[in-house]
Copies of this chain bind each other. A is one copy, B any other.
Amino acid sequence: MRMTRQRRVILETLQEKKTHPCADEVYEIVRQKMPRISLGTVYRNLDILSELGEIQKIELSGSLKRFDGNPAKHYHIRCINCDRLDDAPMPSLEDIEGRLHGSTRYKVIGHRLEFMGLCPECMEKAASRW
């Protein structure tokens, strides 16, 4: 794995940003420092970095994927109104997979959990409509 300037900047960007940006948002941010970087390069590096475990690709609802500079296991909560995504303050439920043993013929390997809700801003806006 060759540490290119592009790869480093993408990784740093993701580690600083706490907003779980999608590929296109990463591209826009990185472009301010490296105007000639291409979107293809961003996609390629996000893939490589998540395969290395440096970042994680958030594979849940929503048509466009988000990326998280924190590679540790944790859940997220998504605003159903504005699509903002935050960390969910809840430890990983390690026991949850064990509940399936015996009742499924699958070999259970992992799980994904995501919460849905209204973020503080959207709640505010909804409230002020009344």
Q: Which residues of A contact B (CB under 8 A)?
A: 59-62, 77, 79-80, 86, 88-90, 93, 96-97, 99-100, 103-120, 123
Copies of this chain assembled into the complex: 2
Query: Given the interface contacts A100-B77, A100-B115, A115-B111, does A106 sit within 8 Å of B86 by beta carbon?
Result: yes
Is A117 touching B113 in the complex (CB atoms < 8 A)? no
Q: Which of B59, B97, B114, B115 contacts A106 (CB 8 A)?
A: B115
Tell me, rounded to whole Å, the shortest Cβ–Cβ distance linking A73 to chain B.
Answer: 13
Tell me whether A117 and B112 are in contact (CB under 8 A).
no
Please name all residues of chain B whose beta carbon is closer than 8 Å to the beta carbon of A60 when the two chains form the complex.
59-61, 112
* B contact residues around A59 at 8 Å (CB): 60-62
Q: Is the CB of B109 within 8 A of A111?
A: no
List chain B residues, Cβ under 8 A from A62. Answer: 59
For the complex of A and B, the 5 pairs showing the least CB-CB separation, nearest first, are A106-B117, A59-B61, A89-B103, A107-B118, A108-B117
Which B residues are CB-close (under 8 A) to A96? 93, 113
Q: Is the CB of A113 within 8 A of B116?
A: no
Q: Are B89 and A104 in contact (CB under 8 A)?
A: yes
**Shortest CB–CB separation between residue A22 and chain B, in angstroms?**
14
Chain B residues closer than 8 Å to A79, beta-carbon distance: 106
Contact B104 A61 (CB under 8 A): no
